[in-house]
Amino acid sequence: MDAVVKQKVDTWLNGNYDNATKNEIQRLQKENETELVESFYQSLEFGTGGLRGLMGVGTNRMNKYTVGSATQGFANYLKKTYGDAEIKVAIAHDSRNNSRFFAETTANVFAANGIKVFLFEALRPTPELSFAIRTLKCNGGVVVTASHNPKEYNGYKAYWNDGGQLVPPHDKNVIKEVEAIKSVDDVKFSGGETNITIIGKDMDEAYIKMVKSLSVYPDVIAKQHDLKIVYTPIHGTGIMLVPKVLSTFGFDNVTIVAEQEKPDGNFPTVVYPNPEESETMSIGLKKANEINADILLGTDPDADRVGIAIKNHKGEWVLMNGNQTAILAISYMLEARKAKGIAQSNDMVIKTIVTTDMIDVLAAKNNVACYNVLTGFKWIAELIKEKEGRENYIIGGEESFGMMIGDKLRDKDAVSAVAFLCEMAAYEKNKNISLYDKLIDLYIQYGFYYEELISITKKGMSGQQEIAEMMQSYRNNPPTHINNSPVLELLDYQTQEGKNLKSGETWKIELPKSNVLQFKLEDGTKISARPSGTEPKIKFYFSVHDHLESKEKFDGMLAAHKQKIENIIADMKLK
């Protein structure tokens, strides 16, 4: 065993840790040294989504002590930042195993440090936490969730006073404070319980009122109140608010997928509680087909991602990818605001660099500013803050099924997105247009863009190294051709440099550093490579586009572009 790992193990065995933790370490020493090394070889770090990892003992696992250390570090940073002023934080959690325990641990540590804590009475969606931070004028916040990861995971998302997740310099500074904690004895686990206030229904009502204010066409909903909606919370927090929000909007024909209605951290009906996965949505699809629904929607465990399924032009149920959902939603928002006469000259939309470029085209042709930021909604939140008072944020999204409507909170919000997407479906149905036909119309109007994503999982220490080597290889030896098309540009967001590979011309990328590479090909294809900040994966994003002349040519073009992406994947030897 590595000496550093052994020292960490010994520290836990001899330190002020509970007996159950020590007994589990001793069991791993006897039965599974590989797992023991994996549990201690590094410390969990903040990535694009905060702290996230497998639950278990050790510095590289989610447990009372890693959560406690993270919270103590965050508390220390808040106190250094705000001095003697009163400091307030809000805390929420999802339906995962141990989430309530970790949330209470977090609350107790903050409270023991003299910080006023607003702790939700039970599980709540992540977006409500962001809303609560802003409503209660908190200095920060935490939600305990591992989003859409498998049941073995949990996580900890840290927020700043704007309701957005931590961005530089705060994220790095919190990490420094966490790393400065050399002993578990530095963590205050108890002693300030009177600083904790339980919140719940009043915040729910304020949040629901805010979401209702996002409706653009309540009169259309009144006409289409019986829109057949099927909704699945996938055993998560969405059940707490989505049905209430849909009812408040005026929809009265909502079917909840019974098998996935109850919050359950074991996610018994799915492998991945992720609405991006067709297997996860399969029970909902079956129900939607049974009752001949108009739309199916699903939210992940912390209700910040939304997946939708609609019938295509052949009457078959299909799952929309995140890009298609964003295209439909943003198009509806721009069209509806213009028709209602509420569009403003300084309206803006925001997307991430790996989200479809069709949104840029759509916004430009509607005279609305569109900004691109790094992956992660914290960057969307940061740009809104930067432009507050000068430009009016109306909607934004990312390809990974995230959407945020309006600026009353600062994280992706599947609860409001479900209601908004149902309003959009009602709006089109009122004109006797299906959402799928609307999507094809948009492709004809703005160009046909098609995107796919593949994730390659590389677990453990060796996996991390493999991902780093793969990225370094692309940096040092970028391909000259991919699928027989010349690579024209390489954009390296880590070095913040763009380069024309033919002319050698370079330019500065005006975004923060991020480990992302993008290849732009002569035929218009865009390929992005990015290690995940929250999972042991490297992700490849593929975008191809063409001109679509008519609906009759859609099926052929879709098949051709799917094949083109398969050819690119094969040429890059990614499968």
Q: How many residues does the chain have?
A: 575
How far is the C-alpha of 467 from the C-alpha of 538, rounded, in Å? 6
- Provide Rg for the chain, Cα atoms: 24
Q: Is 297 helix (H, G, I), strand (E, B) or coil?
A: strand
| 3-state secondary structure labels for all residues of 514-562 | CCCEEEEECCCCEEEEEECCCCCEEEEEEEEEECCCCHHHHHHHHHHHH
How far is the C-alpha of 18 from the C-alpha of 465, rounded, in Å? 33
How far is the C-alpha of 328 from the C-alpha of 441, rounded, in Å? 11
Q: Are strands 392-398 and 347-352 parallel, antiparallel or unpaired?
A: parallel
Crossing angle of helices 242-249/414-430, nearest 10°?
40
312 CB burial (10 A radius; 0-12, 13-18, 19+): middle
Where do runs of H (alpha helix) occur along 341-413?
Answer: 358-365, 377-387
How far is the C-alpha of 562 from the C-alpha of 554, rounded, in Å? 12
**Catalytic annotation present for 147:** yes
How far is the C-alpha of 290 from the C-alpha of 230, rounded, in Å? 11
Please give the backbone phi and psi of residue 403, each rounded to the nearest 5 degrees, phi first: -150, 145
How far from 465 is each of 370, 443, 507, 528, 531, CA to CA, in Å? 36, 41, 29, 19, 11
- What is the greatest pairwise CA distance in the chain? 72
79 CB burial (10 A radius; 0-12, 13-18, 19+): middle
DSSP string, 407-442: SSSSS--HHHHHHHHHHHHHHHHHTT--HHHHHHHH
Burial 105-131 (b: 16+ CB within 10 A, else e): bbbbbbbbbebbbbbbeebbbbbbbbb
Residue among 39, 69, 147, 331 flagged as catalytic: 147
Q: 477 is written with which tokens?
A: 């030896």
CB atoms within 10 A of CB 457: 11
Q: Is 224 helix (H, G, I), strand (E, B) or coil?
A: coil
Query: Which has the closest alpha carbon to 126: 163, 160, 92, 89?
Result: 92
DSSP state of 186: G
Which active-site residues does the annotation give? Answer: 147
